[in-house]
Chains A and B, each alone.
Chain A
């Protein structure tokens, strides 16, 4: 059962090949037996999952036609779940149980999906290797000496190790797409505002976007159908008409123009990774698409701008974790200052502290114009680069990350090297565009990701461009060793 895609599982449930309870039990059993190796889950919600599966079976028996009814999924531990701990990968929230569900959690519940548990992640989604989690690092199912990418490393490892057919995730600078690339998955970050942020613990509010990690583009489309909604509880949510994201999956790529940004193939890109991406371009050409070299001239400014804006926003977003109302509180505070200093000092890990410090500095009197304002100006230029590009092309194509999965510890002492992991993905968040990563081959038995970037709210087209590639190739069908 576990090798099936969601599309296949839906068939299985409808044809009564297996029930949701059987399917759910099977995944729970696999998690129990295998997740000791990967550490992809922080919390497994066995009882609740089985109860939801039973309810789903009843709905199915009653003729429920919601595709996700009875399908087990995992949620990144950044999404609040009523009555179940939401840790955000941090000691700060090790004891935090929200009295509300994230809108996307609610959406999946309504669709009848079954929650298997909450997946591991970099602390407060800050990291590209899943090494900053309070709950320990997650291992890459393709090579357990390597990182799965981050920050949605737990979600990626769970899906790649076939411990969940799909998982929710979040992407602030590449946190869905980079782990998708490193774990041979399809990772979709929708347009900013397409999916509600309510109940998703904020890292950088203007960049955070929830999305999915699946094994195929078709599964992404099915997952997005349930996830996307307009939500009045999130002021930044956009009231765009919803569509059936599977509807365009059969469209031909004839006449499609793909833009290849020259800046995405420069120094820093692993030559073998570049070869796989070039080979993918050939596949697209064979499918009838036209490719066109384009320029995104401000690409080199994306990482520096991001590492001002994201920390600035996070420095304020994380101020609420003060030990006063919930979360970690130090023992026997002497006074107010002591309560703040020790609660935050003990509750946050190094990377979180580093970003809070950077953000606080960037917003300080006398530095605001030089950093925050300048970064916002750069952000507008980057956005304009894409607006110009989409006047000429339908999608933009490039590598997802500069190189395949690296070993634990390889970059953890060098924050800047770690930050460069997201060099190709960050601009998409700064511009608010939808981005997607799909498998496009292997380098040293490690997966390589191909990134596709679409225009605003062009998820349908983007998913079809990915789907057509997956119809023509079998990279995405390859499974991590010892998972079948």
Chain B
């Protein structure tokens, strides 16, 4: 039997507004518990919500970036349930009339193909607080700093057919929200969280299988693993004659398994109804047009421009534009150095390897774009060789300063002085008479290969600083004179 996986994602993104969606309290991450919860966030009696315009602006930016319909009339509703970290006893969210309607985006797959994923809708809502169950001797602590933080919930159609596609879509959304600057997209801090609706069906089948929702997956890696392990579970279950039960499941990263969170029997009735404290929000065309005119360049457009302006391959351009920070960094290096291809190589290979190894973000990287451009310029003008450049780069990552002062301080300047190189060549020839004889006696065709030995010796003697081209020329001349 051949199975097909069907995946839809619900992604919660915290919007990086200064204040909360319905109050003036700060949304900054990491403050002391309950220090950023005002009377409104605490749902004190008599307090009332006032919608944050910036949250609407961000949501509209997102909608426009997703080629989606913008809800010119959007309505907040109350989703009723009791939980200690939900102070009002309801979450203010949108249901029937969301701020962002249907849309579509393309994702790039590893085989180079692109695929369209449809957006069902995206809506604005408030985040809940946090319940803390450790450290309170059998009791629970509540931190309401997060309560009221603006979220957009982005709901896709069930258009993804593998965990890889789901991750590519998630990365695309991540890329769009960070390009727009509407969220920091930090999955580790909960700024972006993902629920995956997963089902399987026999290939060719039209009906969807029964789905399970895996809640609150907080990294790209776990999204892939959670979906794969859930797909495996569902297929095994069906093939053993069982049936998938519609339910909410939790992914346990330690055990790499999903397990049931709630039984289907206690389906919540959230009793949604329009929030009478908040009027419908009406956006006019001018407002939307004004936001549209200020949208930054988005990943796809940037990728195409990198291909045409810098002559990069489509693959390189895609990699470099996946994150706005990387794209901006690359572009700065490319422009300052005037060497886009070298810049692309350094950013994608050396810089990426360094960041990966040191587990750093580009923002925290000690190597500035300006310095990397300088380094590339020094290769280009022959001050150092590509090989020495790697040493300089390493020194730069250690915070030793700009490339010029590192080259100076460490004396790494390439030796192009013919006299000095001649001296080194003479010494090497004198000290390796046997190899010189072999060379002289060797067949003309074998000689270039044998030359490598002498070059290596000279480079060693020069600590790699001798200009390789000059070494080659002088060496050939001297050997032929022997």
Query: Which residues of A are at the interface with B, using a C-beta cutoff of 8 A?
Result: 79-80, 86, 88, 93, 96, 98-100, 102, 197-202, 204-206, 232-236, 312-313, 315-316, 318-322, 324-326, 336, 340, 360, 363-365, 368, 372
For B263-276 the 0/1 string (1 means CB < 8 A from A) is: 00000010111001
Cβ of B123 within 8 Å of any chain A Cβ, yes or no, is no
Extra A-B contacts (8), CB below 8 Å, given A320-B43, A325-B44, A363-B272: A200-B46, A235-B277, A236-B279, A320-B88, A325-B87, A340-B82, A363-B271, A365-B269
Q: From the candidates A88, A340, A364, name the one contacting B271 in the complex (CB within 8 A).
A: A364
> In whole angstroms, how far apart are the Cα atoms of A85 and B354 in the complex?
62
Which among B44, B84, B279 is the interface contact of A324 at CB below 8 angstroms? B84
Query: How does the 8 Å CB contact mask read for B432-467 relative to A, with 1 for contact and 0 for none?
Result: 000000000000000000000000000000000000
- The 8 A-B pairs with the shortest beta carbon distances in the complex, nearest first, are A319-B89, A206-B276, A363-B271, A205-B276, A320-B43, A199-B46, A201-B45, A80-B46
Q: List 25 A-B contacts (CB under 8 A).
A: A79-B46, A98-B44, A98-B45, A100-B44, A100-B46, A197-B46, A198-B48, A199-B46, A233-B48, A233-B50, A235-B279, A236-B276, A236-B279, A318-B89, A319-B82, A320-B43, A320-B88, A320-B89, A322-B89, A324-B87, A324-B142, A325-B87, A363-B80, A365-B269, A365-B271
> Which listed residue (B42, B46, B80, B271) contacts A198, Cβ 8 A?
B46
B278 within 8 A of A: yes
Partner of A360, one of B39, B47, B49, B271: B271
B80 cross-chain contacts in A, Cβ below 8 A: 315-316, 319, 363
Q: Choose from B45, B78, B84, B269 the contact partner of A86 (Cβ within 8 Å).
A: B45
Q: Per-residue CB proximity of B1-14 to A under 8 Å, as 1/0?
A: 00000000000000
Partner of B90, one of A235, A316, A326: A316
Query: Could you tell me if B46 and A325 are in contact, using CB atoms closer than 8 angstroms?
Result: no
Chain B residues within 8 Å of chain A by Cβ, number:
28
| A368 surroundings in chain B (CB, below 8 A) | 271, 273
* CB pair B44 A197 closer than 8 Å: no
Contacts of B51 in A (CB 8 A): 235
CB distance from A306 to the nearest CB of B (A): 14
Residues of A within 8 A of B48 (CB): 197-198, 233-235
Question: Given A93-B45, A235-B50, A319-B88, is A363 in contact with B82 using a C-beta cutoff of 8 Å?
Answer: no
CB contacts (< 8 Å) of B84 on chain A: these are 322, 324, 336
Query: In the complex, are the beta carbons of B46 and A201 less than 8 A apart?
Result: yes
Residues on the B chain within 8 Å of A201, using CB: 45-46
Is B82 a contact partner of A322 (Cβ separation < 8 A)?
yes
Residue of B nearest to A231 (CB): B48
A206 to chain B, nearest CB (A): 4
B40 nearest CB neighbor, chain A only: A233
Closest to B82 in A: A340
Q: A201 vs B43: C-alpha distance in the bound complex, in angstroms?
A: 11
Which residue of B is nearest A208, CB measured?
B276
* Residues of A with C-beta under 8 A to B78: 316
Give bound CA distance, A322 to B42, whole Å: 12
Given contacts A204-B276, A319-B80, A320-B87, contact A326 B46 (CB under 8 A): no
